[in-house]
Chain A
Amino acid sequence: MMTRKKIFEKIIEAVIYASGTATTIVVLLIVFFLFREGLGLFRQAPMQKTYTVAVHPQNPVRQLSIDQLKAIFSKKEKNWKTFGGKDQSIETFSSEDIEKHLKGQDLGEAFSKLKGLVTTYAQNKENLVVVMPKKFMPNKFVPIPTEHMSIGAFFGGKEWRPTSEPIHSFGVLPIIAGTLLVCFGALLFAIPTAIIAAIYLVEIANKKVRNIINPFIELLAGIPSVIYGFFGLVVIVPFIQKTFALDMGETALAGSIILGIISLPTIITISEDAIRSVPRELKEASFALGANHLQTIFKVIVPYALSGIVSAAILGVGRTVGETMAVLMVTGNAAQMPSSFLDSVRVITSTVAAELGETAQGGIHYRALFMLACVLFILTFWFNLLAEWIVAKKTQK
C-alpha cells in the first residue's frame, strides 16, 4: 500500500519534471527548425533548383556571378566583352523563351523532344547563354557553376523579387525599411499615449474610474488581430484614401495606426505594474517636501518606475514587429523602398504570411521566407531578453 503510493509519487514527479522542460524543448525545436530551413537559403543559388546556366563551348567565359547573370537576363549588359568574352552581343534563352524561340514546334509528350529542339536551335549560336533544367540543356553546352545566395545579397539587397525569372532577388532591405517605418509610426503615438494612460490609471484616477476603464483596456487586448485588420480595412484605409486623395488607402500610415492600437494594452498594463510598484514612502516623502502631485509624478514616480516603463515600451516594440494579420490586411504589401507614410509597404511578418503559401517546400523562396522568420525570431527574442534584463538589473540594485 505505502510503496504503491511512493511509486505513484515518483511517476508523477517524473511527468511533472518532463512537463517543466516542455517550453525549453519547444523553444529549442523552434530554433532548430527555423534555422535549419532558413540557413539552407545560403546553400542554394537564387534560381529554380533543377536549373543550370550554360554557354556555348566556343564562348571563353566560364564564370558569371549572380549579379552578372541578373544583368544579362534583364538585358542591362548586352555584350560578352564586359565579362571577358569575345566582342559579341549576348543572346539569352531561358525557359520563358521556349514559346518565343521554338514557336509552333511539337515539344513531344512531357517535353520529350525539347532537348533535341533546343540543341538544334542553339548549336550554332556562339553568343547564347541558356538557363533551364539540366535535362533540356543543349548538347555540348558548358555549364557555368552558379554561386550560392550570399548573406550580403540577402541583408544588403534592395530588391525583393522572389519570383522573377530566371534569377530571383531576395534582398530584404525594402522589407526591413517597411517594418521599421510602420513600427516607428505606431510607437510614435502608442508609447506616449500608453504611458500617459498608465500614469492616469494608477496615480490620478480614483478606483471607480479605474474600474470603468480597465475592462475597456482588457477588451482592447482581447480583440483578435484579424478583427483589427478587418476594422482597418473597412474604416481606416478608406479614410486615409479620402483624406489624402490617394489611389489606394493601404499605406504604412494605416499599418502604423492599427499597430499602435494593438500595442497600446501591452504597454499600458506593464507600465501600470511598474508605476504601481513605486514604494508609498517615496511618494509620501515627496509630498512631505511640499511637491504637489504633478511634480511627484514626474520627479519621483516616473524616474523610479522608468526601467519598468522602458521594458514595457520594448515589449511593445516586440509586439508591433511580430504582429501579422492586421498589417498584412492594411499596408498593401508592395515590396518597395518606402519614401513616406503614404506609400504601400511590406513588413517582415506580412511577407512571410502572404508568400509562404505559394512556395514549394524546400525551395529557395521557401527558405528565404524562413530566413525572414529567423530574423523576426531573433529580433523578438532579443527584445524580450532586453526587457527582462532591464527589469532584472533594476531589482538587483
Chain B
Amino acid sequence: MSQSKQQKQTIVFTTFMVITVLVSAISIGVFFYIFFNGISVLSWGFFTGVPENGMTEGGIFPAIMGTLILIVGSGLVAFPMGILAGIFMNEYAHQNWFKKFVRLMTNNLAGIPSIVFGLFGMAFFVNGLGFGVSILSGCLTLGVLILPIIIRTTEESLKFIPDDYRLASYALGASKWQTIWRVILPAALPNIVTGVILAIGRVAGETAAILFTVAAYFLPKMPTSIYDETMALPYHLYVISTSGTDIEKARPYADGTALTLLMLVFGLNLLANWYRKRLNKKIKV
C-alpha cells in the first residue's frame, strides 16, 4: 500500500519535472533559434548601415538609433514621475482609501494591453495635443506604459529599507525629504535601478504602442527634432517579416534584426541582474 503511494508520488513528480524542463526548453529553443539564424548576418556594416533594396538587405542603424531615442525619451518621461509616485506610495500616502485607489489604478494601468496605450497615444498625444506622429508622442505613450513598472519597483524597493534608517535620520534633525533623498533613496537605489533597466527592456521590445504614435515604415535618415518620426527595431522586424517587398529574400535581414533586438533585451536583463547583485553586495559589506 505505502509502496504504491510512494511510486505514485515518484511518477507524478517526475512528470512535473519533465513539464517544467520543457517550459524552460521553450525559452532556450526560441533563444537559440533566433541566435543561430541571426548570428551569421551580424556584422559591423549591419549595425551601422541603412536598409537597402526595399528593406531586404543592408543595415539597421536607423532602427537601432530610433529604439535608443525612444528608450531615453520614455525614460525622461517615466522615471522621475514613476519614482516620485513610488515614493508617494511608500513614504507619504497614509493607509486610507486614497492610497488603495491609487494602487488599484496603478495595477490596472499595468494590466492594460499595449495596443490600448497605442490608441490612447494616438487619440491624446498625436491628435488631441497635436504632437503628430512623432518621437514626442511615442516617448509620452511609452512613458505612461512603463509608469506602473517604475512605480511598483520603487515602492517595493523602498518597503525593503528598514524603518530604523528613517528614525535615525529624523533623530538627527533631518527633514522628511532630506531623509528620503540622502538615506532612503541611495539605499533603495540598486533595486530601483534594476526595475528601471527592466522597464527599458520593455520599451526596447514594445511594438503595439508605437505603431500609430511614432514608428516609421522606412526612414533612413536620422530624426532632427522631437517632432520627427523614427524607425524602431521591433516595428522594423514586424514590417520586414510580414509586409516587406520580398519577404523570402528579406529573411536573413529579418533574422539579424530579430537577433539584435533579442540581444538588446537580453543584455538589459543581464545588466539588471548583474547590477542588483553587485550593489547589494557592496551595501552588505
Q: Which residues of A contact B (CB under 8 A)?
A: 5-6, 8-9, 12-13, 15-17, 19-24, 26-27, 29-30, 33-34, 36-37, 193-194, 196-197, 199-201, 204-205, 213, 216-220, 222-231, 233-235, 261, 264, 268, 292-295, 315, 318, 321-325, 328-329, 349, 352-353, 356-357, 361, 369-370, 373, 376-377, 380-381, 383-385, 388
Contacts and interface: CB of A to CB of B under 8 A. Distances in A.
A249 to B, nearest CB: 14
A24 B101 contact: yes
Contacts of B258: 227, 230-231
Interface in B160-184: 175-177
A145 to B, nearest CB: 29
A380 B105 contact: no
Given A23-B102, A34-B123, A294-B9, A12 B251 contact: no
Contacts of B92: 13, 16-17, 20
A27 B105 contact: yes
B176 to A, nearest CB: 7
Contacts of B106: 23
A5 B88 contact: no
A235 B33 contact: yes
B20 A200 contact: yes
B107 interface: yes
Which secondary structure dominates where chain A touches chain B? helix
A20 B85 contact: yes
A381 B110 CA distance: 10
B265 A222 contact: yes
B211 interface: yes
B258 to A, nearest CB: 5
A234 B120 contact: no
A330 B166 CA distance: 53
Nearest to A26: B144
B110 to A, nearest CB: 8
Interface stretch (B24-32, B42-50, B52-60, B276-284): B24-32
A234 B91 CA distance: 49
24 contacts: A6-B175, A20-B92, A21-B102, A22-B81, A23-B105, A26-B147, A29-B120, A30-B120, A197-B16, A223-B30, A227-B234, A230-B238, A235-B33, A294-B8, A324-B113, A324-B114, A324-B115, A325-B207, A325-B208, A349-B115, A353-B115, A356-B212, A377-B112, A384-B107
B242 A385 contact: no
A370 B119 contact: yes
B5 interface: yes
B237 A205 contact: no
Given A12-B177, A24-B101, A356-B212, A292 B9 contact: yes
A292 B118 CA distance: 51
A227 B113 contact: no
Contacts of B136: none
Nearest to B13: A204
Contacts of B91: 16
Contacts of A228: 30
Contacts of A321: 113
A381 B85 CA distance: 21
Interface stretch (B68-76, B185-193, B198-206, B223-231): B198-206
B41 interface: no
Interface string B262-282: 100110010000000000000
B214 interface: no
Contact of A20 (B89, B118, B198, B208): B89
Contacts of B211: 353, 356-357
Given A9-B175, A197-B20, A231-B34, 19 more contacts: A16-B84, A19-B85, A26-B144, A27-B105, A37-B119, A200-B13, A200-B20, A204-B13, A219-B31, A223-B262, A224-B234, A226-B207, A292-B9, A322-B113, A322-B114, A322-B116, A356-B122, A369-B119, A388-B104
Given A235-B33, A353-B211, A227 B237 contact: yes
A381 B176 contact: no
A245 to B, nearest CB: 21
B105 A24 contact: yes
Residue among A8, A27, A230 facing the most chain B CB atoms (10 A cut-off): A230
